Amino acid sequence: MVTIINKIWSFNSSAYNIRIFSRRSFRRAYGTNIDDKSIDISRIRNFSIVAHVDHGKSTLADRLLELTGVIKPGNETSQVLDQLQVERERGITVKAVTASLNYKYNKKDYLLNLIDTPGHVDFSNEVVRSVKACQGVIFLVDANEGVQAQSVAVHSLAKRNNLVIIPTLNKVDLPRADPENTKAQLKSLFNIAPDTVLSISAKKGWGVKELLEAVITRIPPPNVDLNEHFRATIIDTWHDKYRGVLCLAYIESGSIQVGQTVKWRSDLKQQTLKYLALLRPSEEPIEKAVAGQVVMVGCGPKGGGSVGDELLSLASAETTKVASAPTVKHMVYAGIFPADQSQHTQLSDAIKKLALNDSAVSVSIDSSPALGQGWRIGFLGLLHLDVFTQRLLQEHKAEAILTAPSVPYKIKVMGAKTIKQFKGEEAIITNPLQLPDPNNIVEYYEPFVIGTIITPVEYIGAVNTLCVDRRGTPRPSSAVDEKMMMLQYILPLSEVVVDFHDTLKGLTSGFASFDYQDYGFHPSSLVRMDILINGVLVDELTTIVHTSRLEYNARNMTAKLKEMIPRQMVQVAIQAVVSGKVYSRETLKAYRKDVTAKLYGGDVTRRKKLLKQQADGKKKMRSVANIKIPRNTFIDVLKR
C-alpha cells in the first residue's frame, strides 16, 4: 500500500537516507552558534504566499527555491511544493507545505520560512493554519485577471491576523496584463498605496529577488521569547510508516533539543522528542531549534500530535488538559462506504491515516441497510470531498462508495430529555436520518454563507437572477473598477455547495469568481421528505427540503427513482411524503427480465452462468418491501 507519507517521502528525502546534521553545518546554516542560545531571531522571517486560485503561488514558490539555491534554475514549470499526486494532476495546491530557506542579504544570513498555501476556498483552513505561524504575507494578484473573490478573502484574513502585507502583482509578462488598473483596484478595495505594490513575473523570474528582499525588509522577525519555557503549536501532521506521527510545529517560546522530554498540552502525556528537522523542503535533521522557527518534530512510532495541540517543556507551568481539536466548520457531509464489506478494515485504516494528514475532515461511524458499515465524513466543501476520495484511492489504494453530499442543519427540540440522542435543546443534524419526529421539532435552522462574487458588469443581471433563484438576499455591492463589480449575497449553504460555482462560471463565460464565508445558522422553513416504496419507508432516501422547493424536489426525486429502479415482477409505487401527505407519486409497471431469453438450444452451463450473474447482481441490491433497488440508486438519486 502506498501511503501518503511515501508520497511526501519520495520528495522529502528518504527515511533511510537521513544525513546527520553536524553542529558545524548547523552553524553554517544559520551563521550563529547553537550553544549560546543566541540564534539570531532578528534574522528569521516566517511568511506565506496568499492569493486567489491560479494566481501563481506555487510558481513563485519555485522561483524562491531557486533563488535560495534549493533547486536548480531553468525549470519554469516544476511546482516543487505541490507534492501530492492529486495536486499535480489537478494543478491545484491542496496542502500547505513549508520550506526553510537561507538567504544572504547585506552580508547577513537570514532564515526564511516559506509556507505555500492552497488557493481554493475548500482548503482555506490550511491557509488559516499557515498564517498563524507567519508575521507577513506576500499577497499575490494576477495582473491579467485583477482582484478576484478569493483575493478579498485572503486579504481580510491577513488583516484580521495583523500580518504585514506585501502587495504583489504577478504575470506582468503577459501581453494583456494591466498592472496600473490592478493597482487601482487594490487602492479602491483595500486602500493599498500604489507605490507599495511590487510587480513580478513568477514564471520568468522577473522582480522575484526584489520581492524576497522586501520579505526581509518589510516583514518583522517573530515576536518570541527565547528565555521562556519551550512551547510550540502544531500546524500540520502526517503519518510516516516507520516513525509514526510527524508534526510541523511553530516554536512560540524557548528552545528544544532532540532527546528532551516534552508533554502534550491536550493530555499532558510525556514523550521524548526523537525527530527534529528543518524542511528545506526536503528534511534536514537538526539537534536543536529555537523560538520563531518552523520545524518538523516527532516522538517516535507511539508519538502523539494533532493540529492545534501544543508541545510543552516539562518545566512549563501548564498542568491542565486542553482539548486540542481546532474548530473547523464542516460545510458538507457525505457517507463513505467500502465497495465491498470485506474491504472495511482496509478502508478504515486508510481513512484514519488520511484524516491525520487532512485535519479538516471529521469522521464518525455510519451504517446503512443498503450500503453496510461505513463512515459519515464532514468536509469543507465539494472539492475537498472530491480530493479526499481521490487521495484515498491514489495514496491508500482504498476504493470507496460515496453518498450524495448534504449540509448540516440545526434543530431546536421540545422535550429533549425524552428523545434518546438529544442531550440539550438544540442539536446539529448531519444526516437527515437523525431527525426526530417532526412533532418534537420547535424550530429548524439552516446554515447560511456570505457569498462574494466579482463579475464583469455585463453579467450582473444573470448573476443576480442566479442568486435570487438560489434564495439569496443581496447586500450592498461595490465597484472594483469601471468594468468589474463586487456583489455580495447571503445564501443558504445548501444552494451553494453542489453546483453554484460551476453554474456561475457557465453564466459569466468563466469571468466571475466566487468565494464564501460562514454566516451561521438561521431559522428556515424546512421539512423532512420521506420516500416510500410500496408503502415502506426507505431510510437512506430521506432528505431535508426547504418548503419552497418541496413540490419540485418531490416530483424530481420520484421521477428519477422511476428511471433508476429496474422493473420488477410486481408493480412498484414510489411516493414522496411529508408528514403523511403525498406530494408526488410514480408507478413502475411489473416486468420480469429473462436473462436467458437470448439463449437458443440447451447449453446448460451458459444458462447457469447467466442465472448466477443475475443472482450476484441481486446481492448488490437493497430489498425494500420485496422490491430490489440497486445500491447506486441511493447515491445517484440525491445528486442534483
Ligand X SMILES: Nc1nc2c(ncn2[C@@H]2O[C@H](COP(=O)(O)OP(=O)(O)OP(=O)(O)O)[C@@H](O)[C@H]2O)c(=O)[nH]1
Going by the annotation, the residues of the binding site for GTP are 51-58, 116-120, 170-173
Q: Least Å distance between CB 124 and ligand X? A: 11
Q: Least Å distance between CB 60 and ligand X? A: 7
CA distance 3 to 91: 21
384 binds ligand X (CB under 6 A): no
Q: Closest CB to ligand X among 171 and 231? A: 171
The span of 86-94, 182-190, 515-523, 528-536 binding ligand X (CB under 6 A) equals 86-94
Nearest to 178 by CA among 189, 166, 169, 187: 169
Q: Closest CB to ligand X among 11 and 105? A: 11
CA distance 390 to 365: 20
Q: Least Å distance between CB 62 and ligand X? A: 8
Of 174, 339, 404, 573, the one binding ligand X by CB under 6 A: 174
The span of 95-103, 200-208, 236-244, 502-510 binding ligand X (CB under 6 A) equals 200-208
3-state secondary structure of 377: strand
Q: Do residues 448 and 521 touch, judged by C-beta distance below 8 A?
A: yes
Q: Least Å distance between CB 117 and ligand X? A: 8
574, three cell numbers: 414510489
3-state secondary structure of 635: helix
3-state secondary structure of 151: helix
- Residue number with the shortest CB distance to ligand X? 119
Q: Least Å distance between CB 383 and ligand X? A: 10
* 128, containing H or E segment: helix 124-132
Residues 6 or more apart whose CB falls under 8 angstroms from that of 86 comprise 94, 387, 390, 391, 394
203 binds ligand X (CB under 6 A): yes
575 binds ligand X (CB under 6 A): no
Residues annotated as binding site?
Answer: 51-58, 116-120, 170-173
User: Going residue by residue from 152 to 171, which x/- string records binding to ligand X, judged by CB under 6 A?
Assistant: ------------------xx
Whether omega before 408 lies within 30 degrees of 0, making that bond cis, reads no
Q: Least Å distance between CB 118 and ligand X? A: 6
Q: Least Å distance between CB 88 and ligand X? A: 10
Q: Least Å distance between CB 203 and ligand X? A: 3
110-149 positions binding ligand X, by CB under 6 A:
118-119
Q: Closest CB to ligand X among 171 and 528? A: 171
Of 3, 151, 201, 494, the one binding ligand X by CB under 6 A: 201
CA distance 141 to 146: 6
Q: What is the CA radius of gyration of the chain?
A: 28
Q: Closest CB to ligand X among 173 and 425? A: 173
Size of the site for ligand X (CB under 6 A): 21
58 binds ligand X (CB under 6 A): yes
One DSSP character per residue, 452-520 reads: EEEEEGGGHHHHHHHHHHTT-EEEEEEESSSSEEEEEEEEEHHHHHTTHHHHHHHHTTT--EEEEEEEE
Q: Do residues 508 and 462 touch, judged by C-beta distance below 8 A?
A: yes
Of 43, 45, 55, 471, the one binding ligand X by CB under 6 A: 55
CA distance 490 to 475: 7
Q: For 152, which DSSP code?
A: H
93 binds ligand X (CB under 6 A): yes
Of 56, 281, 335, 338, the one binding ligand X by CB under 6 A: 56
Query: Which residues bind to ligand X, rule: CB under 6 A?
Result: 51, 53-59, 77, 91-93, 118-119, 170-171, 173-174, 201-203
